[in-house]
Amino acid sequence: MPLTMPQPLVYVLVINWNGLEHLEDCFRSLIETTYPDARFLLIDNASSDGSVTFVREHFGSDARVEVIECARNLGWSGGNNVGLQRAIDDGADYVFLLNNDTATARDAIAELVAMAEARPETGALAPKMLLFDQPFLLNSLGLECSIIASSWDRGLGRTDGPQWDTPRQVIGVCGGAWFVRVAALRKTGLLPEDFEIYLDDLDLCLRLWDAGYEAWTCPTARVRHKFSATYGHGERARRKYYLSTRNRFRIMLRNFPWPRLIAHAPAVLVGEGRAVGRALLDDEPWRAGMHVRAWLDALAYLPHALVARARRRKAGLDSGRFWPLVRRRPLFCPRVCLPERGWYEEVAIQGRRVRPMSARAWANTPGGRLRVFHVNCYPALGPTEVVLHADGVELACLSTMNADAAVVEAPPGTIEFEARRLFPAEETGEAVDVGGWIGMEGLEARG
């Protein structure tokens, strides 16, 4: 009989802190993987909600599942570093870092391994991250980074489609679903724990580039993620804003080539001035205060950054291989527009109140006759085409070059709106892809 070549060993790290409500979806999807040589580690940051007990009781009978309990909350970087070191010590070939609020497609790990094995120059891969409850929309296909070290998810909020299915180089990979080669980690070291959270994934990816590796997207590997675009409220929002701002400066000081950093110093000053001015205009002076704190931290952090640079220089790592992928514009993260149940915020068009829809949208109705308005904001691009479904039955097909209305007999429950064509952002100048502009009013409810 022919000998079977051993498969590369993959360690999957699920970082967790009081995320009990997410762990069923996460681990259920992982243990159903088609890839034969994977280990699944819950890295628990001293949770108090029963997360550890849940995973052990529900998934502990699977020999591939293991729990590592941290004595205290080490943060995202610190917790993941515990798992990364374990994977390195155990001889893993690859590590797949996952947030606990993800669900992984059965073939995702196999797709990632296949691409990494075919491209030995690849140090990190970005799977296609999709929104958990609206998986027709992208969450991330790699990271973008500007000349002031502002970073954001490539494709966030855009409609998934063939245009996103070609692998391409990216400057970094979102830490929420990040596949990394262990051989590369041996050269770069682990995540920067003094970042605590935010941009630590980018920092390591820049070091991967300088170590002679590359980062690519792997669109055939799919992961759904319960993404939140908000900063939250109160002290949590302020903390998140500060860490994101502070860590931008740490990224620049640790990684940007000195000639580039000096040349683009005016852009950094302009960006900071705009951010502070916008904070004051928005009557949020606390944001301006966070920028001042970040400036002071940058001065205090400079000696640490110089030590990190000297260490890399001694190791012969190239400084700035990633620079061609740094974006000159925009300076800050673009505005994120995510729909709720497929609907964007209501707008007034041609005297009617309508809501732009994504590729799909859902609406609840008590049943009866509905008047559905549909408007076309870009007739030069062709007609709208939206199909209404309920309980698997097509109710109507709406198409117009301008504006129209139709009366629909709807059963009680949920109506799904499906756009058979999209108006892409590249052609409209909008921030998102739109499938149509819809308004509804009830004419007669069922008795």
pLDDT at 364: 92
Model pLDDT for residues 366-424, shown as the tens digit of each residue: 888 999 999 999 999 999 999 999 998 999 999 999 999 999 998 999 999 999 999 99
The band of 445, judged by pLDDT with boundaries at 50, 70 and 90, is: very low
* CA separation, residue 350 to residues 181, 376, 428, 437 (Å): 54, 10, 18, 11
Q: Closest Cα to residue 52, out of 24, 20, 79? A: 20
Model pLDDT for residues 278-287, shown as the tens digit of each residue: 999 999 999 9
Strands (E), 210-346: 214-225
Angle (deg, nearest 10), helices 200-210 and 234-255: 10
Structural contact between residues 126 and 140, judged by C-beta atoms closer than 8 angstroms: yes
pTM: 0.93
Helix (H, G, I), strand (E, B) or coil at 431: coil
pLDDT at 232: 56
Model pLDDT for residues 186-239, shown as the tens digit of each residue: 999 999 999 988 999 999 999 999 999 999 999 999 999 998 755 556 788 899
Strands (E), 86-154: 94-99, 102-104, 122-131, 138-140, 143-145, 151-153
The band of 345, judged by pLDDT with boundaries at 50, 70 and 90, is: very high
Beta-ladder partners of 364: 414
User: From CA 318, how far away is CA 323, in angstroms rounded?
Assistant: 11
Sketch out the chain's domains with CATH numbers: 10-225 (3.90.550.60), 234-325 (no CATH), 347-445 (2.60.120)
